[in-house]
Chains A and B, each alone.
Chain A
Amino acid sequence: MKKAIVLGFEVPRGPDGVSIVALLQAIQDKYNYLPEKFLRRAAREMEVPLIDVYSVAKFYKSFSLVPEGRHQIVTCTGTACHVRGSEKITEEISRTLGVEVNSTSPDGEYSLKCVNCVGACASAPLVIVDGEYHGNMTPLKAGKLFAQGAKGKTAVS
């Protein structure tokens, strides 16, 4: 792949050089969020108005402007998962861990996000904990998945 180094990040290059979206992705990958400092630097380095960088950062779902939790919990809310009851699973996780959807628990331990389809619909409904996929979830199983986690230990799989 064609790459370029911008602000010390390795960023894939397109036909027109590096795009701001690609640069922000590299930053997000490294820090798990987009620190303001870097957004300002990115704007200067790429010579784009700061407002454009900020609006890109807020437009796309995979960017976050606040630090995300140490454990990333993603529930799938795609159609296949929805018809097999994913809503209740999200609720159950949210309740067990005390995290609102699309936010991070106050202790910085968990972030709960919803995505629309991770492409494993055959095993719907799905929950992904720190990159590990758990299929055929039920509210009960989901609750158990985190039962220990809620007591202060890390999430179990």
Chain B
Amino acid sequence: MVNMILNGLDISVEEGTTLLEAAKFYGIDIPTLCYDETLSPYGACRLCLVEVGEPGKAKLFSACTYPVREGLIVKTNTKRVIDARKMIIELYLASCPSSKKIQDLASEYGVTEVRFTPKNDECILCGLCVRVCEEQMQAKAIGFIDRGVNRYISTPFERQSEDCRLCGACMYICPVCQARCQGPREEETICNACLNISPPCLEKYDEAMCYMDPCVACELEKEPDE
């Protein structure tokens, strides 16, 4: 076991785990976009940033890729972390407002303004599809092509890959395809609908009866103004 300090708490976790897993185990929520339990971590979305190190010398690292170590001091909710996350969410919103997951994150973190020109890119290059295809489906039909701002995900020679079995795992795991947010229109990027309204069931029953995510009732409620 490895002993370390997480948000001021002395904890001990199993060797070989990551900071993200350790935090999860202790019930601390860290947002992620490119992480999946069944896949190897990739550290691409940068949402899971946490502060690691002595006060004054601490640096931000992605929790999903950081292995636990004896004596580490980790903080998951400092101003520095939250500010960085907010900016990252704002960047995500500007480039991909159609992902419900991103919209939800924006609501959660109170990001109410986007100061960048909206882009409506579909892919956020989290790489979940590439990893699921390789690690779970053993297919390796897709990969990252090109680099820098031009990076995209594709098949060899941009044609249907011989290795693809059309299993659909890539679509299933995609945080953008999975659940689409229909809220924002072209010129605006923030929807802020689902997470910010109180479920209609609350008015009737004093407690929410619905465990659906997204809440169907809420979705229905929205319909009349569409």
- Are B146 and A49 touching (Cβ within 8 A)? no
| Interface 0/1 of B144-187, CB less than 8 Å to A | 11110000000111000111000000000000000000000000
Query: Is the C-beta of B143 less than 8 angstroms from some C-beta in chain A?
Result: yes
Question: In the bound complex, what is the Cα–Cα distance between A51 and B141 (angstroms)?
Answer: 6
- Are A51 and B161 touching (Cβ within 8 A)? yes
Main secondary structure of the interface of A (DSSP, over half): helix
A-binding residues in B (CB < 8 A)? 140-147, 155-157, 161-163
Given contacts A51-B140, A51-B163, A52-B140, contact A59 B157 (CB under 8 A): no
Query: Is the C-beta of A58 less than 8 angstroms from some C-beta in chain B?
Result: yes
Given contacts A51-B155, A51-B156, contact A58 B145 (CB under 8 A): yes
- Which residues does chain A contribute within 8 Å of B141, judged by CB atoms? 51
Given contacts A49-B140, A49-B163, contact A54 B156 (CB under 8 A): yes
Question: In the bound complex, what is the Cα–Cα distance between A58 and B147 (angstroms)?
Answer: 8
- Are A59 and B140 touching (Cβ within 8 A)? no
- Are A59 and B163 touching (Cβ within 8 A)? no
Closest to B155 in A: A51
- Are A59 and B147 touching (Cβ within 8 A)? yes
Question: In the bound complex, what is the Cα–Cα distance between A143 and B161 (angstroms)?
Answer: 45
- Are A54 and B145 touching (Cβ within 8 A)? yes
Contact of A55 among B143, B161, B163 (CB under 8 A): B143
B162 to chain A, nearest CB (A): 8
- Which residues does chain B contribute within 8 Å of A54, judged by CB atoms? 143, 145, 156-157
